[in-house]
A and B are shown apart, each in its own frame.
Chain A
Amino acid sequence: MSPLKYLVICSSLLIALILMILPLPDWAQLYRPNWLALVLIYWSMALPKRVGLWFAFFSGIVLDTSMGTLLGQHTLALVVIIFFNLNFYQRIRVLALAQQSIYVFALLLINQVVVAWVEGILGRPTPLLAYFGGPLVGMLIWPWVFVILRDIRRKALLS
């Protein structure tokens, strides 16, 4: 794969990162979908040989740094869901977008549970809404994320 194609993948991850730290009003923060997880799920589904666990690991480290969370917190969550995704992508890829959304909801929920558990272990219990708010919004926007990234992938001739 040429460097240009990696550039496309990395820029989409960077944009996801920007969306993760974009200021939102306080009430909306718990509904912020995990953009980085969505983009990683897409790429690991479309190009499982190229974008896998290491991508998840390094994106997680950068996300932890930029959000000021414990280093490794989002990393762990992302590695876990991308690992699941690498095992299931062949069955999920062929499903309709609406059905995929439910699967994506499950992955985002696992991601959120891992993040919230680490918060809990550190002695900072999180509200229940924190578990469901983000994944729910993430599920609803998955079809758009999927279509946009698919078009980008086709334009950039990634296969």
Chain B
Amino acid sequence: MKILFQARGATLQALFLIVLSVAIMVVDHRYRHLEVVRSNISFAISPLRYLVSLPATAGNWVGDWVTSHTELLAENEALKDQSRILSARLQKLEILAEENARLRNLLGSSRKIADDVIVAELLSVDQNPYRQLIEINKGTADGVETGNAVIDDFGVMGQIIHVNPQSATIILISDPEHAIPVQFVRSGTRSVAFGRGSTRQLELRYLPATADIMIGDELVTSGLGGRFPPNYPVATVTSISEDRIRGFVSVLAEPRARLDSSREVLVIKPRQ
């Protein structure tokens, strides 16, 4: 008899926990209430994340350490050259930015040009293999907030979806659940680029067949939706396929950012 009751107790407990997990899933999927739980547990296990990414970090560190003197000199020289070229370009850019600001003032537009950035490093941690998420080593303590855009030196990488005190999770623009508002530089056509689960491809759906698009066209953020600041490079068009029956074209584009190999990223904070 006792065994029977014990067994029934276990079954009831299991049923209760199953219902509870399903309820948690529904709440987590539809609402943001569980973000607190997630960020607290995440904070508690953050030492594990650092521990896991330690071998990769140590490898880089040893690599830096054993770089030979001549290589360093050569690299230094190359960087100096690059810095000279960049600062020359910057001078021109500053003049343009000033002019732009002046003209915008004349027009009464209030759009800001510069943004604040936070430099962050990736933690080498594997997450859900079906999604495109990465972890960085800066969190609320450094001023990172949910929704901040993230870029690398080539283009837009994604945006912050969860923040913890010492780390944050980025959803890449290539995640199947991510969409980013974009604009063609050449023609000015606006569209939305969807992730496809591959770091090399974005898809622009339902563009009219009459749209002015060519292979090699550059896509930049349009700034619509308010998440991503405007005019950051996003992707380059690689293929255009026409659906003659429905009169749409489907466009594939390759992200400019090195989604799978960048180690340092910039988190962009909107200016208050």
Residues of A at the B interface (CB closer than 8 Å) are: 14, 17-18, 21-24, 29-30, 32, 52-54, 56-57, 60-62, 65-73, 75-76, 79-80, 83, 86-87, 118-119, 122-124, 126, 130
**A72/B17 in contact, CB under 8 A:** no
- Interface residue count for B (Cβ, 8 Å)? 41
> Once the chains are docked, how many angstroms separate the CA of A17 from the CA of B125?
12
CB-defined contacts of A76 to chain B, threshold 8 Å: 18, 21-22, 25
- Whether, in the assembled complex, B29 has its beta carbon less than 8 Å from a beta carbon of chain A, the answer is yes
Query: Total A-B pairs in contact (CB under 8 Å)?
Result: 114
Contacting residue for A22 out of B37, B52, B176, CB 8 A: B52
Contacts of A60 in B (CB 8 A): 21
A interface secondary structure, majority: helix
Q: A62-B41, A75-B24 are known contacts; what are 20 more A-B pairs with Cβ within 8 Å?
A: A14-B48, A18-B52, A21-B49, A21-B52, A23-B53, A23-B126, A29-B126, A32-B126, A52-B13, A62-B45, A65-B37, A66-B45, A68-B169, A70-B29, A71-B24, A71-B28, A72-B24, A76-B18, A76-B25, A124-B176
Q: Scoring B residues 89 to 133 as 1 if CB is less than 8 Å from chain A, else 0, what string do you get?
A: 000000000000000000000000000000000001111111101
Task: Give the contacting residue for B126; candidates A17, A24, A71; CB below 8 A.
Answer: A24
Collect the chain B residues with CB atoms within 8 Å of residue A69's CB. 127-128
B42 is an interface residue with CB less than 8 A from chain A = yes
